[in-house]
């Protein structure tokens, strides 16, 4: 991988990580178009590592919120008088929601890095999960805010996040649509999606870092460049998405996902692109 390819993939990651369009799916498609081996462990690792750039953007953007939650959690853990705090409860919700994808991701890591790295999987997942987004838009009552969330909500959202291990589903799409289905308003569902992504993406990035920078792999230079570019672009996309979801449905994203899925299927069927 050269630096230009790393920059392009960093831009793709930053643009798509928090939008309900699947960053992994887009990275897989972009990598294949640029002639990279999408099932190569080093390339797979690179796409996981550069997500850390997007996560750093979340940490900076939500820094005050994170400090407040972490502080409330530590106070509650060591002093029962602080356990009635809404922030203490919400911190536990994020923790509970982060556990499932860690367990499932580690247990199925060889499947995720192998058989699922197929453009057929990406194309089908892009189309199929579009209907979940539509369903969430249609049935979501949006009556519940952050203070109304329960521990069960955290676990449900965490299980939904596991679906994003399938390239093309979208981590944010899975959690936001599920959040709408269980009655959360759009902003709350989007915010919890950002926060649930912190442990999952940091863990995946650090776990796969050695494969990305090892001799004969992508290398330190492209990995660092891709991560930095991902951070810059992701920071801008977070602010835009939070403003967008306040008054817009996901219809535009759904149409885009379906169209992209159809295009990929056509390219695969005609032999223009190979599945792996």
| Position 84 pLDDT exceeds 80 | yes
Q: What is the pLDDT of residue 204?
A: 74
Q: What is the pLDDT of residue 12?
A: 93
- Whether residue 275 is contained in a domain is answered as no
Give the pLDDT band of residue 191 (cuts 50, 70, 90).
confident
Give the pLDDT band of residue 208 (cuts 50, 70, 90).
confident
Give the pLDDT band of residue 117 (cuts 50, 70, 90).
confident
- Whether residue 274 is contained in a domain is answered as no
Q: Which residue has the higher pLDDT, 76 or 38?
A: 76
CA dist., res. 18 & res. 85, Å (int): 28
- Whether residue 41 is contained in a domain is answered as yes
| Position 230 pLDDT exceeds 80 | yes
CA dist., res. 26 & res. 124, Å (int): 13
Q: What is the mean pLDDT of the chain?
A: 87
Q: What is the DSSP track for 31-99? A: HHHTT--TT-HHHHHHHHHTHHHHHHHHHHHTHHHHHHHHHHHHHHHH-GGGTT-HHHHHHHHHHHHHH
Q: Which residue has the higher pLDDT, 261 or 207?
A: 261
- Whether residue 224 is contained in a domain is answered as yes
Q: What are phi and psi of 275, to 5 degrees?
A: -65, -35
- Whether residue 276 is contained in a domain is answered as no
- Whether residue 87 is contained in a domain is answered as yes
Q: What is the pLDDT of residue 258?
A: 94
Q: What is the pLDDT of residue 249?
A: 82
Share of the chain above pLDDT 90, in %: 30
Of 72, 93, 66, 87, the closest CA to residue 182 belongs to: 93
Per the structure block, which two tokens stand in for 218? 């992508």
Give the pLDDT band of residue 153 (cuts 50, 70, 90).
very high
Mean pLDDT of 226-246: 88
| Position 106 pLDDT exceeds 70 | yes
Within a 13 Å sphere around the CA of 196, how many CA atoms are in the beta-carbon half?
33
Share of the chain above pLDDT 70, in %: 99
| Position 135 pLDDT exceeds 80 | yes
The residues, any chain, with a CB within 8 Å of residue 236's CB and separated by 6 or more, are: 14
In this structure, of 62-66, 83-87, 101-105, 205-209, the range with the lowest mean pLDDT score is: 205-209
**Parent domain of 112:** 3-269
Q: What is the pLDDT of residue 194?
A: 82
- Whether residue 81 is contained in a domain is answered as yes
CA dist., res. 260 & res. 229, Å (int): 24
Mean pLDDT of 226-239: 91
Q: What is the pLDDT of residue 156?
A: 94
Number of domains in the chain: 1
Q: What is the pLDDT of residue 113?
A: 67
């Amino acid at each position: 991988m050269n630096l230009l390819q790393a920059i392009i993939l960093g831009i793709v990651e930053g643009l798509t990580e928090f939008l309900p369009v699947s960053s992994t799916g887009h990275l897989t498609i972009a990598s294949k178009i640029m002639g990279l081996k999408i099932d190569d462990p080093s390339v797979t690792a690179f796409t996981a590592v550069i997500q850390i750039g997007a996560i750093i953007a979340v940490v900076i953007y939500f820094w005050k919120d994170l400090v407040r939650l972490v502080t409330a959690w530590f106070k509650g853990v060591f002093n029962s008088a602080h356990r009635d705090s809404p922030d203490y409860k919400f911190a536990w919700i994020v923790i509970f929601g982060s556990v499932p994808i860690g367990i499932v991701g580690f247990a199925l890591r060889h499947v995720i890095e192998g058989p699922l790295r197929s453009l057929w999987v990406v194309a089908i997942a892009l189309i199929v999960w579009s209907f979940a987004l539509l369903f969430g838009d249609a049935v979501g009552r949006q009556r519940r805010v952050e203070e109304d969330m329960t521990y069960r909500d955290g676990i449900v959202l965490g299980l939904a996040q596991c679906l994003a291990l399938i390239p093309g589903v979208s981590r944010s799409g899975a959690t936001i649509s599920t959040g709408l289905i269980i009655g959360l308003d759009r902003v709350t569902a989007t915010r919890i999606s950002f926060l649930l992504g912190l442990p999952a993406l940091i863990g995946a990035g650090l776990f796969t870092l050695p494969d990305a920078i090892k001799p004969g792999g992508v290398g330190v230079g492209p990995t660092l460049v891709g991560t930095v570019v991902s951070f810059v672009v992701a920071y801008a996309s977070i602010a835009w998405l939070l403003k967008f979801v306040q008054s817009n449905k996901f219809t535009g994203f759904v149409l885009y996902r379906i169209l992209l899925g159809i295009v990929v299927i056509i390219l695969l069927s005609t032999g223009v692109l190979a599945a792996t």
